Structure formats: C-alpha cells, structure tokens
Amino acid sequence: MFDAEIAAKLLNGGASQASDEGGMQYLDVLREGWLDFSHRIERLAVQDAGSEVPREIEWLIFRDGSRALRIRTDDAPTCWSEWVSIAKSGVVESIKRANKYIATE
C-alpha cells in the first residue's frame, strides 16, 4: 500500500473535509502517523465562472512518490471532492518486478 492510499483513507474516513486555510489541522492526522509529505494548493484561473473547471487542486506528495489530491470547484470550503491517491508509475513497476521475482523463487 502506498502512503497516498493510506492518507486518502484517513482523510476521507474521518478528518475534516474542509480546508483550514490557516492551520491545516486535518493534515495533523498524517503527521501523527509519521507520514512524510509535502503539501501545496494550486489555484487555477477560470475564465468562465459558470464552468465546472476545478478552481483549486490540493496536493500531498509523499516520500515514496505517490500523491493524494482533491479538487474544489466552488468557493465554499465544503465543496472539496474526496481525496484520491495516485501511485507513481516507477513505484508500481518496482513492486511488479519484486512480486515477479518472489513468485519465481
């Protein structure tokens, strides 16, 4: 299991979905679990205010190369999507090779 998968489950399962712009207390759950990550929120310029284009993307990037992200399409703090995890392709390939090696022993 990748760190991003763990983070997404923790954050979707009980931590606040609302972004606390000042303190980011919802990320303390991950820090308490000793997950090493960087965090950033990217704001997107949207020309058509009525479009469904995400206005913000929140990223967590973990030491193992996996990432968790969520998007917000509205200005209200409660309009964040659930967190999703993305495995770094190189990490996935390493695990496949390791599993193949173990299976042939």
Higher pLDDT, 79 or 91: 79
Structure tokens at 51: 């479009």
Q: How confident is the model at residue 22 (pLDDT cuts 50, 70, 90)?
A: very low
Instruction: Name beta bridge partners: 69.
Output: 59, 84
pLDDT in tens, 52-71: 666 789 999 999 999 999 98
Exposure of 17 by Cβ count < 10 A (0-12 exposed, 13-18 middle, 19+ buried)?
A: middle
Give the residue numbers spanning the domain of 77: 3-104
Domain count across the chain: 1
Residue 7's nearest CA partner among 65, 53, 78, 68 is 68
Model confidence pTM above 0.75: no
Instruction: Name beta bridge partners: 56.
Output: 43, 72
pLDDT of residue 76: 64
Taking 80 as the threshold, does the pLDDT of residue 82 lie above it? yes
pLDDT of residue 44: 78
| pLDDT more than 70, % of the chain | 60
Is the separation of the CB atoms in 44 and 54 below 8 Å? yes
